Amino acid sequence: MATPMNIFDIAGRAMSAQLVRLNATASNMANAGNVTGAEKDAYRAIKPVFRSVTESPGVSTVKVENVVTTDAKPVKRYEPNHPLADKDGNVWEAAVDSSAELVDMLEASRLYQNNVQVLQTAKSLMLDTVRMGK
Amino acid sequence: MPPTGKILPPLPVARIGVAEPFAKALQNRQFSKLARPLLITGRMNPSGNPMGRTARVQEDLGADEKMAWDDALFGVHGKALQLRSQRLELLASNIANASTPGYKARDIDFEAALRDATDRKESVAQAMNGAMGYRIPLQPSLDGNTVELSTEQTLFAENAVKYQTTLSFLEGRLNTINRALKGE
């Protein structure tokens, strides 16, 4: 990085990371309850992995290292009348814990708000500094 | 200097014989400086993590050198503003990493940092490093993250207000100088 990291980078990147998390939660919620006829085709919840990026001691932001699929097992349900049921009459429901996803969504949105607040405070302080002596 | 037309003598060439006393004096000076006792200060982080040890070795300043750092125009406030701004970044880093597993929240002892920056005339970065430590969490979480948002946000708000206070002190100084310059 050419220019040293400043407070706007720190909070801005954290906001991007939380947004990725929010998108992952939205994808999981959208697929919750989906059923498929084979276990391998069933949807599995996706989660972003956060890692902190440190430039100098104490100055660090966060980035999304990768997005992983959880190893939760899709739920097998016996429903012979279902159009997608396999030859044994089973369907597989997406491996999404919707209450955990909702909690995740709340946390992500709160942390996003926190970073917006940090950005607003930093912005007003910087503007005050620029206007100093006028 | 007006040109005189006179050919100037060649510049003296440094010879070993001439330079030696000076080098020796320099050596002696360095030696006496090194011979002074070293003051080692460090702060351990509570978990005993080797990364957390921020030890530093600094030269104990002699009484004659320990004059108060004074900036005629801004006094202590110039350095204070720089430190406040750095601390703002530090606390913003903590808030940004509130959900990163294993992240350890940090903070500085502001009073110690300001003392180092003014009395010891250390650079702001040095003073920051010297006064930095890890936050002890009130309730440690399972993922190893020690950020507690209530603490961080309170300190961030406090730091922002104090930044503004320092800024208004600086503004007062500037106004004084401006008034003196304009002669109102």
ipTM of the complex: 0.86
Interface test with A, best of B91, B100, B182 (most A CBs within 10 A): B100
Q: What residues of chain A lie within 8 A of the CB of B100, using their CB?
A: 50-52, 62
Per-position DSSP letters for B120-154, written without gaps between them: S---HHHHHHHTEEEPPPSS--TTS----HHHHHH
Q: Which residues contact A11 (CB under 8 A, 6 or more apart)?
A: A115, A116, A118, A119, A122, B92, B95, B96
Bridge partners (DSSP) listed for residue A35? A93
Q: Identify the segments of chain B with pLDDT beneath 70.
A: 1-71
What are the tokens at B172? 């007062």
Pairing, β B106-108 against β A35-36: unpaired
Residue B67's pLDDT is 38
Which amino acid is residue B131, in one-letter code?
A
pLDDT in tens, A12-41: 999 999 999 999 999 999 999 899 988 888
**How many CB atoms within 10 Å of residue B63?**
6
Mean pLDDT computed over every residue of chain B? 73
Q: Count H helices and E strands in chain B, helices first.
A: 5, 4
Q: What residues of chain A lie within 8 A of the CB of B158, using their CB?
A: none
Is the CB of B174 less than 8 angstroms away from the CB of A132? yes
Residue A88 · residue A95 · CB < 8 Å = no
